[in-house]
Amino acid sequence: MTYKRSLTIEICGSSGDRSLAAGEILIKTLSDIGYHVISFDAYPAEIRGFGKTVAHMRAGREIMLSLSSKVDILVSLNDRYAIEQLKNLNDEGVVIFDNRQRDITYEVLQQDEGQTDKHHLGPGVYTEEEGWKEITSEQVSIAGHLGPGMYLYGVPLYQLSQKTTNESRSRNIVVLGSVAALFNIPKNEFIGNLTAKLGKKDKSVDSVVAAFEEGYNYVRENVVKLDPYSFERLSVDRKGYKLMDGNKAVAQAAIDAGCKLYAGYPITPATKIMEVLFAELPKHGGAVVQTEDEISAIGHVTGAGFAGVRAMTATSGPGFCLMTEFIGYNVMSETPVVIVDSQRGGPATGLPTKTEQSDLNHALFGGNGDTPRIVVAPTSVKECYQWTAEAFYLAEKYQMPVIVLIDLFLSLSVRNVQLDPLPDYKKGSNKLPSQEDMKLYLRQKITDDGVSPRSLPGQENGYQVVSGLEQNEYGTPVYDEYSHTVMTQKRFRKIKTALDHDVPSPERIGQKGRVKLGVISWGSTAGAVADAVDSVLKEGKSVAMLKLIVINPLKEKEIQAFLDDCEKVLVPELNYQGQFANWLSIHFQQKFLRFNKVATRPITHDEIEAEINRLLKE
Amino acid sequence: MHTLHGRALPVASGAKLARPELTVLALVGDGDGLGIGAGHLPHTIRRNPDITCVLFDNAIYGLTKGQTSPMTPQHQITRSHPMGNPDPKMNPVLLALSYGAGYVARGFAGAPDEMQRLFEEGIRHKGFSFIHIMSPCVTFDKVNYLYDNLRSWVRLLPAGYDSTNLDRAFEIARGVELFTGLIYSKPSLEQGAR
């Protein structure tokens, strides 16, 4: 790749143009030839009807943890929608479009009481509200909308698709051929991935490959390349890398960490975790159950945790709210559970298909009473794997709920990652009673580290009663000042023990020693900060970042040391209140500069970079 | 494990799924089992885990000192309804049958031998078993579930009653008379627990 650190590509069409399938093949190919990739597709929010669908990906030589605001290469399968995307195109961006658009006859399926009729109509657009509307050829072609520095390449996508496959729906494949030719992407890898993806479904693989070749050859024979972008093969080995999104990483971590029960209720964007586990967990001796609601889901997980088995549920904000009573119950009954919350826009049903980081308050404080819990927030897909696995270890070891906060962006963003295998000692962390303990078994025994040895149901002499009531060491309900005080202290002591033994120091990135600006970040936004800091450091700026994955408990000493090094401290996050900045303000005497957005999309690295530069100039 | 109010069934199901070798019972009352946690009943029955649910019905909220429960008869005066309970009570046996439970029985706290037999059978039953126990609250219910009242109301199932006949079971469940004993048991071949 030349000219730029990374390139952002969009394939834009209406649903039915299969632009996402094309995006999937492209991202796989770029990954195979050595590039780091990160994708984040945009779907129409409505299930029914036509809507804009955009496969969005960023590829580069170095690892990337965030998206760019601007697009470098825009591939149009539907010009009307692609015209809207032009506002994001770089001044020197590339557009690939169908230069014979006006010949197209669109096929529109109209469904009327179960009957499907095909209506052949001219160029136009269909919306739920207005129905079919014809539009003029000028409106329909993207060619008339480009800025002066942009590069435009026309390929007769429709004609070539018809010629090879007798249908217009292979335009997505034709255009992949053209993309391969234009940007020097090795053809064989592409065709391999193409047949692997379509092979199972499509009987006419040959004709699809022919469509790809037509798109490729057309560009080679007819198009003069003017733009500077290319994706030649890199000489790096990506063998151990896998393409996966955060949901897949969470599910894989559950399997590898020995989770034996998953219970969940469908909710965007966490549903795929359940879908993956339904297919995979039974193969590893685990059970998966789709429950009637999220209360039942966390109830199942609690029962399994009590029985001594690693168990997990995953949800999003509204479902997480329903689970709240059980968070307190798991704290009080000292039952290990892992809860994954993939945050989406809120409050209430909110914005089910949009990303946000606004459940932090709930994760930290949700529930009645003094309820210590561990909260971790992975910042990348790789960390989704690592920290979900870690959550099982921590929950079991400290007998308490561990909340893994991810978000829609991490859940759905596909990246090529190399997963580090889980160390064996983390696969079983129950503190079991010794023979001495069994002489007179005390379920809630007061200990120095706060953790009581736990007998499991069926263990001889290990009879226990646990409940949501305050209790003494025997587990008998008690309501006196002494018991409530020592037991509350014991529950909080576990958090302190976890902090001392199992919470790593937060990672500091960037300039060492004193800096003009420090950035503290969490969750997926930390990815954008890491990319931005990397970029401004190359310009020699005095900046460092601190990446916090464990949100509770906080490594206060290490964080304070970082704060002491910074003239100013910025906390960017994807919520309105600055929930993380507020959380830090409870712990540190420091003025935190905030950068809050409720953008319905991830914060990009260039937005952070602009804010860093603005603050450095102040 | 004393779970959250109303959530015994999901927790019991989770424990059973996690450790199938354990014998698991879910003991609930009319307040949590038919009130706050009633939504879990049909789905637990549907999933048919091999657990036994015993519903101890005292027709009142006793722990909070005598408010109307889902089993309090219509018009009965309680602490929360000094003018009388406006709503009719529920029918747990009919509910369990309607949702398709494979083992449905009713017992009375004044007849412990029968209760013991029903518990044993319920635990042995492969799949979800549901046992409704009428159990007086001697402190806060002075009019309805008194031992004397219940003794005069309950009936033993008629001689030769076929507990595998679902239609007969529905008749018994719908009737005004309070029959105790094994009301319905799915023939063993169809039990299909998991």
Model confidence at A112, pLDDT cuts 50, 70, 90, reads very low
Taking residues A11-36, what's their average pLDDT? 93
Tell if the CB–CB gap between A467 and B1 is shorter than 8 Å.
yes
pLDDT tens-digit series, residues B21-71? 999 999 999 999 999 999 999 999 999 999 999 999 999 999 999 999 999
Residue B97 near residue B104 (C-beta atoms within 8 A)? yes
Q: What is the pLDDT of residue B189?
A: 55
What is the per-residue DSSP string for A455-489?
--TT-TT-----BSS-B-TTS-B---HHHHHHHHH
Is A549's pLDDT higher than 90? yes
C-alpha distances in angstroms, A434 versus A184, A461, A529, B1, B103? 65, 12, 48, 22, 41
The topology (CATH level 3) of B8-186 is: Rossmann fold (3.40.50)
Per-residue burial over A271-293, b if 16 or more Cβ lie within 10 Å, else e, is bbbbbbbeebbeeeebbbbbbbb
Taking residues A376-393, what's their average pLDDT? 98
Tell if the CB–CB gap between B4 and A299 is shorter than 8 Å.
yes
Neighbouring C-beta atoms of residue A235, cutoff 10 Å: 7
Per CB-CB distance under 8 Å, the chain A contacts of B21 are 458
CA distance B158 to chain A (A): 38
Neighbouring C-beta atoms of residue B175, cutoff 10 Å: 11
Closest residue of B to A329, CA-based? B4
Taking residues A444-472, what's their average pLDDT? 95
Q: What is the pLDDT of residue A139?
A: 56
Residue A558 near residue A547 (C-beta atoms within 8 A)? no
Is A534's pLDDT higher than 60? yes
Is A3's pLDDT higher than 50? no
Taking residues A119-132, what's their average pLDDT? 55
Taking residues A29-42, what's their average pLDDT? 94
The topology (CATH level 3) of A6-222 is: Pyruvate-ferredoxin Oxidoreductase; domain 3 (3.40.920)
Neighbouring C-beta atoms of residue A205, cutoff 10 Å: 15
CA proximity to B156, closest of B132, B176, B180:
B180
* Whether the bond into A269 is cis, omega within 30 of 0: yes
Tell which wins on pLDDT, A236 or B183. B183
- Assigned CATH for A507-617: 3.40.50.920
Is A390's pLDDT higher than 60? yes
Is A439's pLDDT higher than 70? yes
Is A168's pLDDT higher than 90? no
Is A95's pLDDT higher than 80? yes
The domain ranges of chain B are 8-186
What was the ipTM of the complex prediction?
Answer: 0.94
Model confidence at A591, pLDDT cuts 50, 70, 90, reads very high
Q: Which of A72-86, A111-125, A363-377 has the lowest mean pLDDT?
A: A111-125
Class assignment of domain A242-427?
A: alpha beta
Is A44's pLDDT higher than 80? no
Q: What is the pLDDT of residue A5?
A: 81
Neighbouring C-beta atoms of residue A400, cutoff 10 Å: 28
Supply the DSSP symbol for B2.
B
Tell if the CB–CB gap between A303 and B18 is shorter than 8 Å.
yes
The reply to whether B89 touches chain A by the CB within 8 Å rule is no
Is A108's pLDDT higher than 80? no
pLDDT tens-digit series, residues A139-151? 568 888 888 999 9
The length of chain B in residues reads 194
Residue A273 near residue A340 (C-beta atoms within 8 A)? yes
Q: Which of A189-203, B64-78, B82-96, B157-171 has the lowest mean pLDDT?
A: A189-203
CA distance A14 to chain B (A): 40
Tell if the CB–CB gap between B11 and A306 is shorter than 8 Å.
yes
Give the whole-angstrom CA distance, residue A108 versus residue A16.
11
Q: Which of A206-210, A304-308, A376-380 has the lowest mean pLDDT?
A: A206-210
Which residue reads 């009957």 in tokens? A115
Is B16's pLDDT higher than 70? yes
DSSP reduced 3-state for A288? strand
Taking residues A104-123, what's their average pLDDT? 44
C-alpha distances in angstroms, A579 versus A245, A356, A521, A552, A587? 26, 12, 12, 13, 13
Tell if the CB–CB gap between A303 and B12 is shorter than 8 Å.
yes
Query: Which tokens belong to A437?
Result: 């303990």
Taking residues A304-333, what's their average pLDDT? 98
Is A48's pLDDT higher than 50? no
Q: What is the pLDDT of residue A136?
A: 55
Neighbouring C-beta atoms of residue A96, cutoff 10 Å: 26
Tell if the CB–CB gap between B13 and A467 is shorter than 8 Å.
no
Q: What is the pLDDT of residue A81?
A: 87
A52-60 vs A6-14, strand pairing mode: antiparallel
Per CB-CB distance under 8 Å, the chain A contacts of B10 are 263, 291, 295-300, 302-303
CA proximity to A360, closest of A522, A572, A545, A529:
A522
Taking residues A524-533, what's their average pLDDT? 97
- Partner-chain residue, chosen from B3, B18, B43, that has the shortest CB–CB distance to A291: B43
Q: Which of A130-139, A155-164, A186-195 has the lowest mean pLDDT?
A: A130-139
Q: Do the domains A6-222 and A242-427 sit in the same CATH topology, yes or no?
A: no
Is A332's pLDDT higher than 70? yes
Query: Which tokens belong to B31?
Result: 């307040």
Is A113's pLDDT higher than 70? no
The domain ranges of chain A are 6-222, 242-427, 435-502, 507-617
DSSP reduced 3-state for A387? helix
Give the whole-angstrom CA distance, residue A557 versus residue A172.
54
Closest residue of A to B14, CA-based? A300
